[in-house]
A and B are shown apart, each in its own frame.
Chain A
Amino acid sequence: MTQSLSQISLEDWDARYADLVKTRRVRPPFDGPLGRHWRDGDTRLTKFLYDPSPAALDLWNFLLTEEDRLREDKANGKTLIGAMKDLGTVPVMAYALPQTTTFYPDGAWWTPCLMEFGSGVLGVADQLGVDESFCPVRAMLGSFAANLHFPVPDLLVCSVGATCDDFSAIAQRVEGLGHPILWWEIPPRREPDPGEPAVTLPGGWRCPDSQVRFVRSELERIRDALQTLTGGSLADEPLRDGIREANRIRALLREIRRQVFTSKICPLPSLELLVAEMLALHFCSDRAAAHRVLTGLRDEIRSRVSAGAGFLGPDAVKVYWINPVAELRIMNVLEECGGRLCGTDFMFAHALDSIPDNLPPMEALAHMALADPMIGSAADRACRICREMADFGAEALVVSRIPGASHCALEGQIVADMVASTLELPAVEIEAPPVGDAFLPSIKTRLRALTETAKARRSR
């Protein structure tokens, strides 16, 4: 017996919120009707379809209250760290300090989508000469320039080297606005030379020990800066605790992913999965709350799986998805086209892997930083994707190109070709700007063609 669930609209959520409040014994401090965010300017929310569970409501409220929580932290005297680009390493360190909150100003890249350009930050970036030929992360520059969407951090830390040009260039412009940045180098991960001492990283890649030592020394510079700024100690013991806490959250996410990707009926829509995965990066500025939110989501998924409840039917096409979307509505479109997620690489697979707990903490963090899928070759990334696609039973691949991102010019085709030649599965590339209404019909056509092709192959 299976129970079919349906996604609901923002209007539906607000209509049922009053009843929900009566039945919930414990409500998180960020609880409230979703519609308040729409009234605050997140106008795109009316275009999405949502998971109808209280756990998903908590997830959305947690995400959409981040700016308020950051400002509250600042007002309460907490130290704010702005980590940039490394996606998952620096926050693990900084959250090991008391009275410190770390976030990614990069996260502003969803603001133009959520606010349907209402915030004006892209216009500010335009005025600074960083136009639409750049990745939507240019919203970060506009946010710094206009002092919108997040308080100015007490310390900015940015990884460079094997990173996207657009990000590196935009971060440099942020510094040019008068916000000093502690730059740290992440070299391109490379294969060890014959006979060269090497290590195996989370995710299975190998790299020379010398690269680990170098990255560790770069992270030591960040440790020094954090300690100097906060006056706190980032000795190995608190770092170990920080790694343990991060691993608890990563373990939750891995379980959520496994259930979502492998259950007979999909227990969570793709939009909520994308948001949940994002919590791995900086815990949405509150590590303890992130753990509670994800635990609630995990429990909801468990109960659905055991009850055979979920979205779409067992017939849904299992799709592996590469790169996050600037236009969140696209994730709903996947389901409208009969697809469900069966594997993701949203550019931060390393932030979902467990950080080694059998190594000195700084070395473990260097291992993790070097496991970033974006700092190796596209072929490396494609290998991991192929492995996961096979493990999860994916039937098709979507490569979501990020408009203007320097890595997308070559990478998508290389990955798609490798998937086609290794697994003989169909793949499509799609691309849409942050508000992509004009692009959605063609994206829908492409995704529908993909799911139809995948279904047709089942009967072969």
Chain B
Amino acid sequence: MEPVILYNSPYVPPEWIAAHGFRPMRPTPGSGDSAREILSAREGLCPWARHFANAALSGPDTAGVVLGTTCDQIRRLRDIFASDAAIPFFLFHVPSVWQTASAHALYLSELDRLGRFLIAHGGRSPASADLAAVMDRYDRERRSMMDSVPRHAPAGNRPAIPIAFLGGDLTREDLALYAIVAECGGRVVLDGTETGTRVAPARFDRRRLAADPLRELADAYFGTIPDVFRRPNSALFEWIRRETAQHAVRGAVLIRQVWCDLWHAESARIREWLSVPMLDLDRDGEPCRARERTRIQAFVESLQ
């Protein structure tokens, strides 16, 4: 089995890690992942970042960790990782600015640096053809997954209310929200969280894939994924408007980790931007309780 490289961000291409001979893994961390809690809950600390750090630092089979800096909380985890010399880590700077050639070049240079990090920790330098093959395989697998049926459909024959999930990273505890929506008569038809279709890179262009796979990789990830941290973040709002209309969404749930300023600050604007009602759900990294269930139930009922 290939050694595992953990990474946190959809802007870190797993193809690049795999092409270097590692098994890329982007976990959905949760409480109880680690025997020892290195980072405990504290005011101001993002629960997802806390769970991720605890999982990564206590995982026995991790060859290294890549921290994509799409937020300040993750960027600052580097001090926590640096104090634990046992696991090599790499701070991958994902530029917030995205409309300039220099930002693209910076992203590409970060990929290059990541490659050197992987090689320094036992990886192999991939030939272009090898990288292209890995990218092709991931592309096909990704399309196949995206075409599959959503996980949770409501019980019974009543037509489900089409719901969109929007927001950032989800902890394992947050995954229960999909089932809760289904139990309440809704169905998540659009996943705009940090694990959903919103963050899927653009499909690779065959011709460019063959000619310069690394550049194509950078263009597909850095050039197309809309996100809240990008400056400006106008592409995210365009995505929301387009996709919610295309999926005939009747209500949206914004799932944000408490202390995540990036999503919290945009909550009011997303509400204005949407043409359907929105439920703003803050999560604390703990299992879903009656509070979340009741709020979702009331929200879905109000959409009937």
Contact = CB atoms under 8 A, between A and B. Distances in A.
Interface in A151-197: 158, 160-166, 168-173, 175-176, 181, 183-185, 187-188, 190, 193
Contacts of A210: 109
A193 B113 contact: yes
B261 A406 contact: yes
B73 A185 contact: no
B264 interface: yes
B97 A185 contact: yes
A183 B102 CA distance: 13
B80 A410 contact: yes
A128 interface: yes
Nearest to A177: B269
A379 interface: yes
B93 A187 contact: yes
Contacts of A160: 96-97, 231
A134 B69 contact: no
B264 A133 contact: yes
Contacts of B232: 172, 175, 181, 183
B231 A172 contact: yes
A172 B265 contact: yes
A60 to B, nearest CB: 33
Contacts of A218: 97, 102
Contacts of A170: 265
B116 A128 contact: no
B70 to A, nearest CB: 10
A162 B44 CA distance: 18
Contacts of A181: 231-232
Given A163-B72, A407-B72, A168 B231 contact: yes
B267 interface: yes
Nearest to A214: B106
A168 B79 contact: no
B82 A166 contact: no
B262 A168 contact: yes
B44 A409 contact: yes
B262 A169 contact: yes
Q: With a 10 A CB-CB cut-off, give which of A181, A193, A214 has the most chain B CB atoms.
A: A214
B141 to A, nearest CB: 32
B93 A188 contact: yes
Nearest to A405: B44
B265 A187 contact: no
Interface string A366-410: 000000000001110000000000000000000000001111111
B103 A173 contact: no
A164 B75 CA distance: 10
A407 B231 contact: no
B12 to A, nearest CB: 15
Given A172-B265, A408-B44, A409-B259, A414 B103 contact: no
A169 B259 CA distance: 12
Contacts of B106: 185, 187, 214
B210 interface: no
A162 B79 contact: no
B45 interface: yes
A411 interface: yes
B286 interface: no
Given A185-B97, A406-B72, A411-B76, A377 B265 contact: no
B101 to A, nearest CB: 9
Contacts of A130: 265, 268
A408 B43 CA distance: 9
A187 B109 CA distance: 12
A307 to B, nearest CB: 45
A410 B261 contact: no
A217 interface: yes
A379 B72 contact: no
A171 B229 CA distance: 11
A185 B44 contact: no
A154 B200 CA distance: 38
B233 interface: yes
Interface in B40-71: 42-46, 69, 71
Nearest to A158: B231
B259 A162 contact: no
Nearest to A134: B261
Interface in B259-303: 259-262, 264-269, 271
Contact of B269 (A173, A187, A188): A173
Interface string B80-121: 101000000001010111001011001001000100100000
Contacts of A161: 69, 93, 95-97
Contacts of B95: 161, 185, 187
Interface of A: 128-130, 133-134, 158, 160-166, 168-173, 175-176, 181, 183-185, 187-188, 190, 193, 210, 214, 217-218, 221, 377-379, 404-411, 414
Closest 7 CB pairs of A and B: A129-B268, A409-B44, A169-B265, A165-B261, A183-B231, A160-B96, A406-B72
Given A160-B231, A185-B103, 9 more contacts: A129-B265, A168-B229, A173-B269, A185-B97, A187-B95, A378-B76, A379-B79, A410-B76, A411-B79
21 contacts: A129-B265, A129-B271, A133-B264, A162-B93, A164-B261, A165-B73, A165-B261, A166-B265, A168-B231, A169-B261, A169-B265, A169-B266, A172-B233, A183-B97, A185-B102, A188-B93, A193-B113, A217-B102, A218-B102, A408-B44, A409-B46
